[in-house]
Structure 1
Amino acid sequence: MTGRPPTTTLWRPTGPGELALVRESRWRAWPPRLPEQPIFYPVLNEDYAIRIARDWNVKHDGAGFVTRFEVETDFLSRYPVRQAGGESILELWVPAEELDEFNAHISGRIRVVHEFR
C-alpha cells in the first residue's frame, strides 16, 4: 500500500505582491526570487510568521499575510534549521536556484491563514 509521504508544516509571511503571484500559481508554488533575494525562507512556527507579517509586511506593503503549506519531510532534511534570533525564530534557507525543486515537493495547496492591514 502506498500513501502520501510524511509532510512538515511550514509558514511564510508575505506581502500582497508575492501573494498575488502565489494565487497565479493556483496556490501551488512560490514565485522565483528577485535578484536581491538569494534565498527563500519559510519559517517553522506560526507565531514567528505572524510577527513578520503584522509588524514588517504591513509597515512596508500596507498588508501582511501568513500562509501555511506542507512540504515532504524527507526533502526538507537537506535544509538545516537556522535560528534567526530567539529560540522560536526558526527558518529554513532555500537557495533561490532550488526553489523550483522545493515547489515540486509542496503537498497540497498554499493557504492564507492570517491577514493584517
Structure 2
Amino acid sequence: GRRRGVLSDYTFAVQHEGKLLNIGKAYSGLTDLEVSQMTEFFKQHTIQDYGRFRLVEPVVIIEVAFNGIQKSNRHSSGYALRFPRIVRIRSDKTVAEIDTLETVRKVLQKNIGDETYPPAR
C-alpha cells in the first residue's frame, strides 16, 4: 500500500509516577508528508529496532481524539482509548506536559463511574 516502508502506527502513552504507560495506538490523522517526516525522525531516534516495530526516544507529543475510554489488560496504563486518531503533532509541548493516568481516571469517573466512557449500550 501507499504506507509501505514508512512508520505509520504510533503507540502513545500517559505519564504516571515518572513512567510512560501505554494507552493506545493510532495510525490515522496525519498527512502522507507528516508520516514521511515522522518516519525519518523516528529512524534517527530509534533506541531499539525489533523489526516490525521500534522503541524510539519519547520526545514526540501528539494530540489524540477518541470516542471513549475503557479498562484494558492489554495496555500498561490499564486503560485503552476507543477509536483514537491523531489530531496534530504538538511540537509546542514536552513530555512533562502530557496527560497523566490520573487525568484518564478522572475523565472516566466523572462521566460514568469506572468501567467505560461513554457507557456501553
The TM-score normalised by the length of structure 1 is 0.31
Name the structure with the higher helix share: 1
**Superposition TM-score, scaled by structure 2 size:** 0.30
User: Larger radius of gyration, structure 1 or 2?
Assistant: 2
Q: Considering Cα pairs closer than 8 Å and 6+ residues apart, tell me whether 1 or 2 has the greater RCO.
A: 1
